[in-house]
Structure 1
Amino acid sequence: KASDIHIEPTRENLRVRFRLDGVLYPSLVLPLKIHPAVVARIKILGGLKIDETRLPQDGRFSTVIGDRRIDFRVSSFPTELGEKVAIRILDPEKGIKSLDELGLQDRDFKIVEETIKSLYGIILVTGPTGCGKITATILIIGASSTNLSNSFFSTSFLFASPFISSSNLSKALSTSLSGT
């Protein structure tokens, strides 16, 4: 199953590609004239500003397919030929459900467990797109004590929980860099 949908303008047409196992495969070639309408619709679904075409934007939306809720993360990115849109498909029913299933080496699993139980410490979750950073972070947060102070920082995702302080670093950095 595809993990991402990429919608990219070229000089001749609008190209749609799907990411399967980390590789982008061509799927559709559409007329270039529908590019603005397609991008606008996706931006509306994702809660992005449709009139902002000069800056990258991130958003999200959900839909129900059959009896399952599927989440989508949307990113728009300005290019010389127009906005490129990437949609990450997130199926909450698939994937890892517990810390034990993360595949950590025994030594690393013990370190994570000890840090979660500790009054002090930090766990950094890093890696390339699609490697499971958000899944790992959510599982770690879920396993941590609710009577401790937990903070979550991300460049693309905000975690909604009554026990977590969450901040989007991309927005914070762009605001501080622009002087506003």
Structure 2
Amino acid sequence: MSGKSRAEQRFERHLRDHLLVEYRQLMDEDQESEETLEAHALLTDAVNARATDLHLDPFPDQYRVRLRIDGMMVDAMEVSYDQGRRLVNQFKAMATLDPIPSVRCNEGSFVYSLDETDLDLRVTAIPCVSGDKLAIRVLSPPEAVQDIQELGIPSEGVEWIRRWMDATGGMFLVAGPTGSGKTTTLYALLHELKLSDSHVITLEDPVEYEIPGINQIQVDPMHDLTFANGTQAMLRLDPDYVLIGEIRDVPSAQAGISVATSGRSLMGTLHSRDAVGTITALRNLGLDDYEIAANLGLVAAQRLVRKLCPECRTKGKPDNIEKQWLRQCGREVPDETWIPVGCPACNNLGFRGRIGVFEVWQLTEDDYARILRHEDELSLRHSLIERGQPLMLDDGLAKVEEGFTTLRELLRTGVLLSHHSPSELDTQEK
């Protein structure tokens, strides 16, 4: 599982060769024109390669440049230590960070214009043993996803979400690990809400993207604009919907509950491996069971998996690892499944882009009763399986069958890890 496929290795070599040619051309130019050209050239190539993150990793005698493309880390090139330090300083200057080697974590941002598109770049510098490591997150405007149906949410889940949007009050949480597309899902909802006759306000840290027609507030503790007093101020503005960018600590959790109990509709993201896991996460953030049961209305959990290239995908047999995992999950092993091949359209990777794998949990009276009895995740998940609730695994296998992705992608992103068949649950309980 840890090794890279031949297609991924070929793509890394191609990307590395391309970047090295451009970089050497820049090194041949005079020093004055070199000041920011190197960083700009590297950014342009990274964006053109559809990278969402750019990493500069220090080693004793060199720097390694790596890109995250469709969720996978790709080794792009290696440069000398001095050249790497110069790149780090250039990016720090662009993000208005102190170019002196870091002694603590520093964060900054800047806007980069490419082909008439403004990209918001978030820069994080942290000291390592061999020097400063730099991570740059590329935030592209989510213009392509303005309808929640385009995200890949199952039709029943879309119906539940839109029903929640038409109601008044309660919490809708989008759950998943870092980098699973939670913010994109919420912003797709905001795009729909801005077209309605509702008053929408967000309280975020940080504001990921600006959406015209939505009132977005940036948390700023240095100027006493925290989740706590920001929420109190928002409620005086009489909103219909409130978005809290991420519920990640006790203050943001309490802010979310105060919004939901006031009769407003609250949207937020939460780190959790699946929908049922949000209950444990909220409990760990200090919320009581009665607060959760009284306010939580809907949860959407998600992962991002790589999409098969439609130009070259083909049918093949599942391998032994995929068969073993499917049997452990209590699922039938198909005779054939879709597998990647590689062609010029996908840079010979076999994949291009990503798609979401979802589970949408609309809580019922039985669920609320179980929460009030302080039942754990295992019991709650077992009850969902017994009543036929579609889980993330079901949506993932449906997308595999339709040819959107592969079994190995579900396995790699952990979709298969968090679910068990009813027979396995019975065995564990005994």
TM-score for the superposition, normalised by structure 1: 0.74
Indicate conservation of the 8 Å contact 2:101/2:131, yes or no: no
Name which of 144, 163, 166 aligns with 2:215: 163
Residue 40 (structure 1) aligned with residue 89 (structure 2): yes
**Distance in 1 of aligned mates of 2:111 and 2:182:** 20
Matched AA of 2:217: S
- Please state if 1:16 is matched with 2:68: no
Q: Which runs of 5+ in 2 are unaligned?
A: 1-48, 227-247, 252-430
Aligned AA (1:91): S
**Residue 123 of structure 1 aligns with which residue?**
172
Where in structure 2 are the equivalents of 1:11-160 lying within 5 Å? 11-51=60-100, 53-92=102-141, 95-144=144-193, 147-148=198-199, 150-154=201-205, 157-160=207-210
Alpha-carbon distance change, 117 to 153 in structure 1, aligned in 2, over 3 angstroms: farther
Question: 1:166/1:125 Cα in 2 relative to 1: closer, same or farther (>3 Å)?
Answer: farther
Q: Which amino acid aligns with 1:150?
A: I
Q: Compute the displacement of 1:76 (Å).
A: 2.0
RMSD between aligned residues: 3.2
Say which SS state the counterpart of residue 92 (structure 2) adopts. Answer: helix
Q: Do the aligned residues in 2 keep the contact of 1:160 with 1:166 (CA within 8 Å)?
A: no
Number of equivalenced pairs: 172
Partner-residue secondary structure (3-state), 1:77: strand
Mapped to 2, the partners of 1:48 and 1:116 lie a distance apart of 41
Q: Distance in 2 between matches of 1:96 and 1:4?
A: 20
**Does the CA-based 8 Å contact 2:101-2:132 persist in structure 1?**
no
Deviations 1:105-163 (A, max 9, x none): 22322332233333312222333343322221222223236644633444x54454652
How far apart are the structure 2 equivalents of 1:14 and 1:112? 46
Checking the alignment, whether the CA contact within 8 Å between 1:146 and 1:163 is kept in structure 2 is no
Q: Matches of 2:146 and 2:165 in 1, distance apart? A: 17
* 8 Å Cα contact 2:207/2:216 also seen in 1: no
- TM-superposed CA distance for 1:15, in Å, is 0.8
Which amino acid in structure 1 is aligned with residue 110 of structure 2? Answer: F
Q: Is the 8 A contact 2:109 2:123 kept in 1?
A: yes
Contact 1:59 1:73 in 2 (8 A): yes
Does the C-alpha gap of structure 1 residues 86 and 159 become closer, same or farther in structure 2, counting only changes over 3 Å? same
Q: Which has the larger helix fraction?
A: 2
Percentage of matched positions with identical amino acids: 23
Q: 1:117 to 1:57 in 2, by over 3 A?
A: farther
Q: Which whole-Å CA distance do the structure 2 matches of 1:99 and 1:54 have between them?
A: 43
SS in 1 for 2:87: helix
1:50–1:137 distance in 2 versus 1, CA, 3 Å: farther
Between the aligned partners of 2:112 and 2:188, the Cα distance in structure 1 is 23
Specify the SS of the correspondent of 1:122: strand
The AA in structure 2 aligned to 1:125 is: V
**Tell me, which stretches of 5 or more residues in structure 1 are unaligned?**
none
Q: Give the Cα–Cα distance (whole angstroms) in 2 for the partners of residues 166 and 123 of structure 1.
A: 21
What is the SS of the residue equivalent to 1:150? strand
Which amino acid in 2 is paired with 1:27?
A: A
1:120–1:166 Cα change, 3 Å: farther
Larger % of strand: which?
1
Q: How far has the Cα of 1:53 moved from its partner?
A: 1.6
Would the alpha carbon gap of residues 16 and 98 (structure 1) be closer, same or farther in structure 2, given more than 3 Å must change? same
Structure 1: which 4+ aligned runs deviate by more than 6 Å?
A: none
- Normalised by the size of structure 2, how large is the TM-score? 0.35
Q: What is the one-letter code of the residue matched to 2:157?
A: D
